[in-house]
Amino acid sequence: MTELKNDRFLRALLKQPVDVTPVWMMRQAGRYLPEYRASRERAGDFMGLCTNPEAACEVTLQPLDRYPGLDAAILFSDILTIPDAMGLGLYFEAGEGPKFRKPVRTEADINALTVIKPEQDLPYVVNAVKTIRRELNGRVPLIGFSGSPWTLATYMIEGGSSRDFRRAKEMLYNQPELMHRLLDVLADSVTVYLNAQIQAGAQAVQIFDTWGGALSHSAYQEFSLNYMQKIVKGLIREHEGRQVPVILFTKGGGQWLEAMAATGATALGLDWTTDISAARSRVGDKVALQGNMDPTILYASPERIRTEVGDILQAYGKGSGHVFNLGHGITPEVDPAHAGAFINAVHELSSRYHE
Protein backbone atom coordinates (compact mmCIF):
# COMPACT_ATOMS: atom_id res chain seq x y z
CA MET A 1 0.00 0.00 0.00
CA THR A 2 1.50 3.32 -1.13
CA GLU A 3 1.72 6.01 1.55
CA LEU A 4 -0.43 9.06 0.82
CA LYS A 5 1.70 12.16 0.34
CA ASN A 6 -1.31 14.48 0.70
CA ASP A 7 -4.23 13.21 2.80
CA ARG A 8 -5.77 16.53 3.91
CA PHE A 9 -8.92 15.79 1.87
CA LEU A 10 -9.55 12.58 3.83
CA ARG A 11 -8.63 14.21 7.14
CA ALA A 12 -11.01 17.12 6.54
CA LEU A 13 -13.86 14.72 5.75
CA LEU A 14 -13.19 13.04 9.11
CA LYS A 15 -12.98 16.48 10.79
CA GLN A 16 -9.35 15.91 11.72
CA PRO A 17 -6.91 18.88 11.81
CA VAL A 18 -5.54 20.15 8.49
CA ASP A 19 -3.10 22.91 7.56
CA VAL A 20 -5.32 24.44 4.86
CA THR A 21 -8.83 23.72 3.58
CA PRO A 22 -8.60 21.01 0.90
CA VAL A 23 -10.12 21.67 -2.52
CA TRP A 24 -11.26 19.73 -5.58
CA MET A 25 -13.84 20.45 -8.29
CA MET A 26 -16.76 18.41 -9.49
CA ARG A 27 -16.13 17.65 -13.19
CA GLN A 28 -12.52 18.77 -12.73
CA ALA A 29 -11.56 16.48 -15.64
CA GLY A 30 -13.67 17.89 -18.43
CA ARG A 31 -14.26 20.02 -21.49
CA TYR A 32 -12.89 23.29 -20.07
CA LEU A 33 -9.40 21.77 -20.37
CA PRO A 34 -7.82 21.75 -23.85
CA GLU A 35 -5.83 18.62 -22.97
CA TYR A 36 -9.11 16.82 -22.16
CA ARG A 37 -10.62 17.86 -25.48
CA ALA A 38 -7.56 16.48 -27.27
CA SER A 39 -7.85 13.16 -25.40
CA ARG A 40 -11.55 12.93 -26.20
CA GLU A 41 -10.88 13.54 -29.88
CA ARG A 42 -8.30 10.74 -29.90
CA ALA A 43 -10.75 8.39 -28.15
CA GLY A 44 -13.49 9.17 -30.68
CA ASP A 45 -16.20 10.08 -28.18
CA PHE A 46 -17.05 10.38 -24.50
CA MET A 47 -17.79 6.69 -23.97
CA GLY A 48 -14.56 5.86 -25.75
CA LEU A 49 -12.79 7.61 -22.89
CA CYS A 50 -14.95 6.04 -20.17
CA THR A 51 -14.54 2.46 -21.39
CA ASN A 52 -10.76 2.61 -21.85
CA PRO A 53 -9.03 2.38 -18.43
CA GLU A 54 -5.80 3.94 -19.69
CA ALA A 55 -7.65 6.85 -21.31
CA ALA A 56 -9.82 7.32 -18.21
CA CYS A 57 -6.65 7.42 -16.13
CA GLU A 58 -5.07 9.96 -18.47
CA VAL A 59 -7.94 12.42 -18.20
CA THR A 60 -8.33 11.85 -14.43
CA LEU A 61 -4.72 12.97 -13.95
CA GLN A 62 -4.82 15.95 -16.35
CA PRO A 63 -6.25 18.48 -13.86
CA LEU A 64 -3.77 17.33 -11.20
CA ASP A 65 -0.89 17.95 -13.58
CA ARG A 66 -2.22 21.40 -14.44
CA TYR A 67 -3.23 22.34 -10.88
CA PRO A 68 -0.80 20.92 -8.28
CA GLY A 69 -3.00 22.47 -5.57
CA LEU A 70 -5.84 19.99 -6.07
CA ASP A 71 -6.21 17.75 -3.03
CA ALA A 72 -8.11 14.83 -4.62
CA ALA A 73 -8.61 13.02 -7.90
CA ILE A 74 -12.02 11.77 -8.97
CA LEU A 75 -12.54 8.76 -11.18
CA PHE A 76 -13.38 9.76 -14.75
CA SER A 77 -16.58 7.94 -15.60
CA ASP A 78 -20.32 8.62 -15.90
CA ILE A 79 -23.24 8.14 -13.52
CA LEU A 80 -25.15 6.21 -16.19
CA THR A 81 -22.77 3.25 -16.38
CA ILE A 82 -25.10 1.20 -14.12
CA PRO A 83 -28.20 1.47 -16.35
CA ASP A 84 -26.00 0.86 -19.37
CA ALA A 85 -24.73 -2.33 -17.73
CA MET A 86 -28.38 -3.32 -17.21
CA GLY A 87 -28.80 -3.39 -20.99
CA LEU A 88 -30.58 -0.08 -21.60
CA GLY A 89 -28.24 0.98 -24.42
CA LEU A 90 -26.64 4.25 -23.36
CA TYR A 91 -25.58 6.64 -26.11
CA PHE A 92 -24.81 10.34 -26.39
CA GLU A 93 -26.36 12.62 -28.98
CA ALA A 94 -24.61 15.89 -29.83
CA GLY A 95 -26.30 18.80 -28.11
CA GLU A 96 -28.86 16.61 -26.37
CA GLY A 97 -26.87 14.70 -23.77
CA PRO A 98 -27.31 11.05 -22.71
CA LYS A 99 -30.09 8.86 -24.07
CA PHE A 100 -31.20 5.23 -23.68
CA ARG A 101 -32.35 3.03 -26.53
CA LYS A 102 -34.52 0.95 -24.18
CA PRO A 103 -36.18 3.10 -21.49
CA VAL A 104 -37.75 1.42 -18.45
CA ARG A 105 -41.48 2.19 -18.35
CA THR A 106 -43.48 -0.97 -17.62
CA GLU A 107 -43.66 -3.60 -14.91
CA ALA A 108 -42.12 -6.10 -17.32
CA ASP A 109 -39.22 -3.70 -17.99
CA ILE A 110 -38.50 -3.41 -14.26
CA ASN A 111 -38.92 -7.12 -13.56
CA ALA A 112 -36.29 -7.82 -16.21
CA LEU A 113 -33.65 -5.80 -14.33
CA THR A 114 -31.15 -7.55 -12.08
CA VAL A 115 -28.48 -6.28 -9.71
CA ILE A 116 -25.24 -5.69 -11.59
CA LYS A 117 -21.99 -7.58 -11.02
CA PRO A 118 -19.37 -4.82 -11.33
CA GLU A 119 -16.35 -6.98 -12.16
CA GLN A 120 -18.35 -8.76 -14.85
CA ASP A 121 -20.64 -5.98 -16.12
CA LEU A 122 -18.41 -2.92 -15.66
CA PRO A 123 -14.83 -4.22 -15.74
CA TYR A 124 -13.60 -1.04 -17.43
CA VAL A 125 -14.59 1.02 -14.36
CA VAL A 126 -12.96 -1.37 -11.91
CA ASN A 127 -9.81 -1.49 -14.05
CA ALA A 128 -9.79 2.31 -14.38
CA VAL A 129 -9.81 2.67 -10.59
CA LYS A 130 -6.90 0.24 -10.26
CA THR A 131 -4.97 2.01 -13.02
CA ILE A 132 -5.54 5.49 -11.57
CA ARG A 133 -4.51 4.41 -8.07
CA ARG A 134 -1.31 2.94 -9.44
CA GLU A 135 -0.47 6.04 -11.46
CA LEU A 136 -1.35 8.42 -8.63
CA ASN A 137 1.31 6.66 -6.54
CA GLY A 138 0.03 8.25 -3.34
CA ARG A 139 -0.05 11.80 -4.73
CA VAL A 140 -3.63 12.51 -3.54
CA PRO A 141 -6.64 10.34 -2.62
CA LEU A 142 -8.93 8.94 -5.31
CA ILE A 143 -12.69 9.51 -5.14
CA GLY A 144 -15.10 6.94 -6.58
CA PHE A 145 -18.72 7.78 -7.29
CA SER A 146 -22.16 6.76 -8.45
CA GLY A 147 -25.46 8.39 -9.22
CA SER A 148 -28.21 7.99 -6.62
CA PRO A 149 -31.02 5.49 -7.29
CA TRP A 150 -33.58 8.26 -7.83
CA THR A 151 -31.32 10.16 -10.24
CA LEU A 152 -30.55 6.97 -12.20
CA ALA A 153 -34.24 6.09 -12.28
CA THR A 154 -35.17 9.45 -13.84
CA TYR A 155 -32.84 8.87 -16.79
CA MET A 156 -33.95 5.27 -17.17
CA ILE A 157 -37.66 6.10 -17.22
CA GLU A 158 -37.46 9.32 -19.25
CA GLY A 159 -34.99 7.79 -21.70
CA GLY A 160 -32.59 10.67 -21.16
CA SER A 161 -32.52 14.13 -19.62
CA SER A 162 -35.77 15.84 -18.64
CA ARG A 163 -37.00 19.23 -17.51
CA ASP A 164 -40.06 18.09 -15.56
CA PHE A 165 -39.53 14.32 -15.03
CA ARG A 166 -43.10 13.73 -16.14
CA ARG A 167 -42.82 9.99 -16.76
CA ALA A 168 -40.76 9.33 -13.63
CA LYS A 169 -43.12 11.29 -11.40
CA GLU A 170 -46.12 9.69 -13.02
CA MET A 171 -44.76 6.28 -12.02
CA LEU A 172 -43.83 7.57 -8.55
CA TYR A 173 -47.37 8.82 -7.83
CA ASN A 174 -49.49 6.32 -9.78
CA GLN A 175 -47.44 3.16 -9.27
CA PRO A 176 -45.30 3.76 -6.18
CA GLU A 177 -44.76 0.05 -5.57
CA LEU A 178 -43.26 -0.23 -9.07
CA MET A 179 -40.99 2.73 -8.45
CA HIS A 180 -39.86 1.19 -5.16
CA ARG A 181 -39.03 -2.05 -6.97
CA LEU A 182 -36.87 -0.13 -9.45
CA LEU A 183 -35.17 1.89 -6.72
CA ASP A 184 -34.44 -1.28 -4.73
CA VAL A 185 -32.56 -2.95 -7.58
CA LEU A 186 -30.72 0.31 -8.24
CA ALA A 187 -29.77 0.75 -4.57
CA ASP A 188 -28.38 -2.79 -4.45
CA SER A 189 -26.49 -2.15 -7.70
CA VAL A 190 -25.03 1.14 -6.47
CA THR A 191 -23.90 -0.54 -3.25
CA VAL A 192 -21.99 -3.35 -4.96
CA TYR A 193 -20.66 -0.89 -7.57
CA LEU A 194 -19.23 1.50 -4.97
CA ASN A 195 -17.84 -1.39 -2.93
CA ALA A 196 -16.10 -2.68 -6.05
CA GLN A 197 -14.57 0.77 -6.54
CA ILE A 198 -13.41 0.83 -2.90
CA GLN A 199 -11.88 -2.63 -3.20
CA ALA A 200 -10.14 -1.54 -6.43
CA GLY A 201 -8.62 1.48 -4.70
CA ALA A 202 -11.11 4.36 -4.26
CA GLN A 203 -10.36 6.02 -0.91
CA ALA A 204 -13.63 7.97 -0.62
CA VAL A 205 -16.93 7.77 -2.49
CA GLN A 206 -19.60 10.29 -3.43
CA ILE A 207 -23.25 9.65 -4.28
CA PHE A 208 -24.55 12.20 -6.78
CA ASP A 209 -28.27 12.81 -6.21
CA THR A 210 -28.47 15.31 -9.03
CA TRP A 211 -32.26 15.34 -9.28
CA GLY A 212 -33.32 14.82 -5.67
CA GLY A 213 -34.13 18.52 -5.43
CA ALA A 214 -36.89 18.04 -8.03
CA LEU A 215 -38.96 16.08 -5.50
CA SER A 216 -41.46 17.30 -2.93
CA HIS A 217 -40.49 17.16 0.74
CA SER A 218 -42.19 13.84 1.48
CA ALA A 219 -41.30 12.28 -1.88
CA TYR A 220 -37.62 13.10 -1.34
CA GLN A 221 -37.56 11.25 1.96
CA GLU A 222 -39.39 8.20 0.59
CA PHE A 223 -37.97 7.87 -2.91
CA SER A 224 -34.47 9.34 -2.69
CA LEU A 225 -33.06 9.64 0.82
CA ASN A 226 -34.27 6.24 2.05
CA TYR A 227 -32.39 4.52 -0.75
CA MET A 228 -29.22 6.53 -0.23
CA GLN A 229 -29.36 5.58 3.45
CA LYS A 230 -29.67 1.93 2.43
CA ILE A 231 -26.54 2.32 0.29
CA VAL A 232 -24.57 4.05 3.06
CA LYS A 233 -25.38 1.17 5.43
CA GLY A 234 -24.13 -1.38 2.89
CA LEU A 235 -20.82 0.26 2.03
CA ILE A 236 -17.33 -0.84 3.05
CA ARG A 237 -16.30 1.83 5.57
CA GLU A 238 -12.72 0.75 6.20
CA HIS A 239 -10.17 -0.41 3.66
CA GLU A 240 -6.37 -0.53 3.50
CA GLY A 241 -6.24 0.46 7.17
CA ARG A 242 -8.17 3.71 6.64
CA GLN A 243 -11.74 4.87 7.04
CA VAL A 244 -13.54 5.29 3.71
CA PRO A 245 -15.57 8.53 3.85
CA VAL A 246 -18.96 8.71 2.10
CA ILE A 247 -20.23 12.02 0.70
CA LEU A 248 -23.91 12.58 -0.11
CA PHE A 249 -24.70 15.37 -2.56
CA THR A 250 -28.28 16.31 -3.34
CA LYS A 251 -28.49 19.27 -5.70
CA GLY A 252 -31.23 21.51 -4.32
CA GLY A 253 -31.19 19.56 -1.06
CA GLY A 254 -30.47 22.33 1.43
CA GLN A 255 -33.80 21.88 3.20
CA TRP A 256 -33.00 18.25 4.09
CA LEU A 257 -29.55 18.59 5.66
CA GLU A 258 -30.55 17.24 9.08
CA ALA A 259 -32.15 14.17 7.54
CA MET A 260 -29.17 13.64 5.24
CA ALA A 261 -26.78 13.93 8.20
CA ALA A 262 -28.71 11.17 9.99
CA THR A 263 -27.99 8.61 7.23
CA GLY A 264 -24.53 7.76 8.54
CA ALA A 265 -22.72 9.58 5.71
CA THR A 266 -19.40 11.21 6.55
CA ALA A 267 -20.04 14.46 4.68
CA LEU A 268 -22.72 16.37 2.82
CA GLY A 269 -22.18 18.24 -0.43
CA LEU A 270 -23.86 21.65 -0.63
CA ASP A 271 -24.92 23.51 -3.73
CA TRP A 272 -24.55 27.30 -3.90
CA THR A 273 -28.11 28.04 -2.78
CA THR A 274 -27.39 27.02 0.83
CA ASP A 275 -25.52 29.29 3.25
CA ILE A 276 -22.60 27.25 4.54
CA SER A 277 -22.58 28.98 7.92
CA ALA A 278 -26.22 28.07 8.47
CA ALA A 279 -25.56 24.54 7.23
CA ARG A 280 -22.72 24.11 9.72
CA SER A 281 -24.88 25.25 12.62
CA ARG A 282 -27.69 22.92 11.53
CA VAL A 283 -25.65 19.72 11.25
CA GLY A 284 -23.24 20.45 14.09
CA ASP A 285 -20.50 17.85 14.45
CA LYS A 286 -22.43 15.04 12.77
CA VAL A 287 -20.89 15.46 9.32
CA ALA A 288 -18.30 17.41 7.38
CA LEU A 289 -19.44 19.80 4.65
CA GLN A 290 -18.30 20.05 1.03
CA GLY A 291 -18.86 23.05 -1.22
CA ASN A 292 -20.22 25.39 -2.20
CA MET A 293 -19.18 28.15 -4.62
CA ASP A 294 -21.47 28.93 -7.56
CA PRO A 295 -19.63 27.44 -10.58
CA THR A 296 -20.53 30.44 -12.74
CA ILE A 297 -18.37 32.70 -10.56
CA LEU A 298 -15.46 31.16 -12.44
CA TYR A 299 -16.50 33.38 -15.37
CA ALA A 300 -15.71 36.41 -13.21
CA SER A 301 -12.27 37.98 -12.79
CA PRO A 302 -9.64 36.21 -10.65
CA GLU A 303 -9.99 39.04 -8.12
CA ARG A 304 -13.74 38.49 -7.82
CA ILE A 305 -13.21 34.73 -7.55
CA ARG A 306 -10.74 35.31 -4.72
CA THR A 307 -13.25 37.50 -2.89
CA GLU A 308 -15.93 34.82 -3.16
CA VAL A 309 -13.56 32.15 -1.87
CA GLY A 310 -12.72 34.36 1.09
CA ASP A 311 -16.40 34.97 1.86
CA ILE A 312 -17.20 31.23 1.89
CA LEU A 313 -14.19 30.41 4.06
CA GLN A 314 -15.23 33.12 6.51
CA ALA A 315 -18.81 31.85 6.52
CA TYR A 316 -17.68 28.34 7.41
CA GLY A 317 -15.33 29.66 10.07
CA LYS A 318 -12.45 28.11 11.96
CA GLY A 319 -11.70 24.45 12.27
CA SER A 320 -11.65 21.37 10.07
CA GLY A 321 -14.58 19.60 8.47
CA HIS A 322 -14.78 21.69 5.29
CA VAL A 323 -13.78 20.50 1.82
CA PHE A 324 -13.94 23.41 -0.61
CA ASN A 325 -15.68 22.66 -3.88
CA LEU A 326 -18.04 24.18 -6.38
CA GLY A 327 -21.76 23.86 -5.72
CA HIS A 328 -22.02 21.77 -8.89
CA GLY A 329 -19.74 20.81 -11.79
CA ILE A 330 -17.39 23.22 -13.53
CA THR A 331 -18.82 24.30 -16.89
CA PRO A 332 -17.11 23.82 -20.27
CA GLU A 333 -16.59 27.51 -21.15
CA VAL A 334 -14.58 28.38 -18.01
CA ASP A 335 -11.08 29.76 -18.60
CA PRO A 336 -8.65 27.20 -17.09
CA ALA A 337 -6.66 30.09 -15.60
CA HIS A 338 -9.72 31.10 -13.57
CA ALA A 339 -10.01 27.56 -12.17
CA GLY A 340 -6.36 27.83 -11.17
CA ALA A 341 -7.01 31.16 -9.44
CA PHE A 342 -9.86 29.53 -7.50
CA ILE A 343 -7.74 26.59 -6.32
CA ASN A 344 -4.83 28.81 -5.31
CA ALA A 345 -7.11 31.20 -3.43
CA VAL A 346 -8.53 28.38 -1.29
CA HIS A 347 -5.11 27.36 -0.01
CA GLU A 348 -3.77 30.91 0.32
CA LEU A 349 -6.75 32.26 2.24
CA SER A 350 -7.66 29.26 4.39
CA SER A 351 -4.53 28.74 6.50
CA ARG A 352 -5.65 31.28 9.11
CA TYR A 353 -8.76 29.20 9.77
CA HIS A 354 -6.62 26.21 10.78
CA GLU A 355 -4.23 27.70 13.34
Q: Which residues are catalytic?
A: 27, 31, 40, 78, 155
- Ligand-binding annotation for 27, yes or no, is yes
- Ligand-binding annotation for 310, yes or no, is no
- Ligand-binding annotation for 271, yes or no, is no
- Ligand-binding annotation for 175, yes or no, is no
Q: What is the distance between the alpha carbons of residues 188 and 146, in angstroms, rounded to a whole number?
A: 12
Per DSSP, 4 falls in state P
- Ligand-binding annotation for 304, yes or no, is no
Give bridge partners of residue 243 from the DSSP assignment.
Answer: 238
- Ligand-binding annotation for 290, yes or no, is no
- Ligand-binding annotation for 114, yes or no, is no
- Ligand-binding annotation for 45, yes or no, is no
Provide φ and ψ at 190, rounded to 5°. Answer: -60, -40
Assess contact for 198 and 239: CB atoms under 8 A: yes
- Ligand-binding annotation for 317, yes or no, is no
Q: What is the distance between the alpha carbons of residues 344 and 2, in angstroms, rounded to a whole number?
A: 27
Burial of 108 (0-12, 13-18, 19+ CB in 10 A): exposed
DSSP secondary structure, 332-350, as one string: TTS-HHHHHHHHHHHHHHH
DSSP secondary structure, 227-291, as one string: HHHHHHHHS--EETTEE--EEEEETT-GGGHHHHHTTT-SEEE--TTS-HHHHHHHHTTS-EEEE
Assess contact for 350 and 21: CB atoms under 8 A: yes
Residue ranges at the known binding site: 27-31, 78, 155, 210, 328
Residue ranges at the known binding site for substrate: 27-31, 78, 155, 210, 328
